[in-house]
Chain A
């Protein structure tokens, strides 16, 4: 008997400045869709309706409107940048649909019509900056793409660094897709900051990392670089210059969990031995599974029922246990820190000892008092200070 289909929209840019990540999200989402559609566990199949906004912000509104009006989807997976999510948000709220957003983002949003599957700011920027302040330096040079992800990441970084009596040495911003990075590398070589925090996205980031590597090497400098977004497919794009970047993420291909080993094996069987999954792609894969399990449990695609069925449901994903915090629609997940190696992989050197509650508004962080002081109220702590070194 043929299973009934549930139409699901998938919005990711296959061209434009962040096309590489859009393609990773699509590949991973489709891998999950194909797996789910072949499993007897599910009494329905997902019918994916893929739309490509080509990295043009206004196109996200158009394709989302099309998916809802003409296809009649109730659930949409996708968007990468916050600018694209903000385009989709008014439509899904007005029409009461649900967006499953896979990317890590800067927080300070909590729509009832969005499930935030990626990392919240307390999962990515906080552990990274805290590590730097505790172990490396209190002076940071920031370079990023001129949009909300960088603005907010820099704001949080500045608050943490200032509370530790440190300094932000510079904040240099480039427009999305900008490739003229030489002047910033020249400035870094001239000023020799102890740390560079890179929040550039897409091609700008790749150009910058290559130029930074060449410029600092020529000057005989060794300056560590930080990132909250770099992933394995990007290491392959950038090449050898990408080694040595300290990166904060909930997912790395090198996670030693049976679920991840099996996921990576399936990934490589599908996309080739040399191919690697990415954090945002894996997150899209998780989003499809969270949606499918919620659809199965709810027995309907009605979004209120699906949300009820999804909240608190624990999924042992490739990145480890993940579940949706019903209070704020963000995911509970495990933050990790790693350093990229010359083989295009990440060596994980720290992870939280348990999944961490999402704190999209950073309400549990008291930066005025101290960069590492947090409240002990409210049970499971975001940014739990109990750290475990991973070897």
Chain B
């Protein structure tokens, strides 16, 4: 299934924490042009919806409440930088921003920052899922190894042949190698040698 294009921003809702009124006006106007709903926010205030994106002015940093940081981490964050000093950038890193804008804001650059933030967020989510999957597979390697050893003993096979046998059985039963290995080690049931 294809995911929605990061270029299309209409209908998204953004939490916007900006101090300077001129910057707020520019963001509001550009968001209106892009079809994005802008919800003004001051860090510390409760939020009663799940934003698709947050714009956080570095004037509000550091965010003292861990719960706030965790809440913002659920969707992409764009940091608004007033200065490029390392001390301020270190505070910005806490937000793990997907993109940034330099103050004072102008309309040019906002669209690109938004698109990059959404795209970066999508790619990061995909990478996180891949890492999760790989970690699960890594954990299950112990089980696979145990199953291979069991089949080596019971069928008097060398390791490559035992593994091939398990893989073939897994394919026939439409299971993953890890699932079948777990069954072998748990129940002692061996895949029936075929062919």
Contacts and interface: CB of A to CB of B under 8 A. Distances in A.
Asked if chains A and B come from one complex, the reply is yes
Contact of A364 (B10, B30, B107, B111): B10
B33 interface: yes
A110 B107 contact: yes
Contacts of B111: 108, 361
A214 B111 CA distance: 44
Interface residues of A, number: 20
Given A361-B111, A368-B2, A110 B8 contact: no
A112 B33 contact: no
Interface size class of B (residues with CB under 8 A): 10 to 19
Contacts of A366: 8, 10
Contact of A328 (B4, B9, B33): B33
A375 interface: yes
B35 A363 contact: yes
Contacts of B34: 361, 363
Given A93-B106, A111-B107, A361-B9, 4 more contacts: A110-B107, A360-B33, A363-B33, A364-B35
A107 to B, nearest CB: 10
26 contacts: A93-B106, A93-B108, A108-B111, A109-B108, A110-B30, A110-B107, A111-B106, A111-B107, A112-B106, A112-B107, A159-B5, A327-B29, A327-B33, A328-B33, A360-B33, A362-B8, A363-B8, A363-B10, A363-B35, A364-B10, A366-B8, A367-B5, A367-B8, A368-B4, A368-B5, A375-B10
Contacts of A361: 9, 33-34, 111
Interface string A351-370: 00000000011111111100
Interface on chain B toward A: helix, strand, loop, or mixed SS?
A: loop
B179 interface: no
B20 interface: no
A136 B35 CA distance: 32
A96 to B, nearest CB: 12
A368 B33 contact: no
B59 to A, nearest CB: 23
Nearest to A330: B33
B62 to A, nearest CB: 33
A110 B33 contact: yes
Contacts of A159: 5
A361 B8 CA distance: 8
Interface in A323-367: 327-328, 360-367
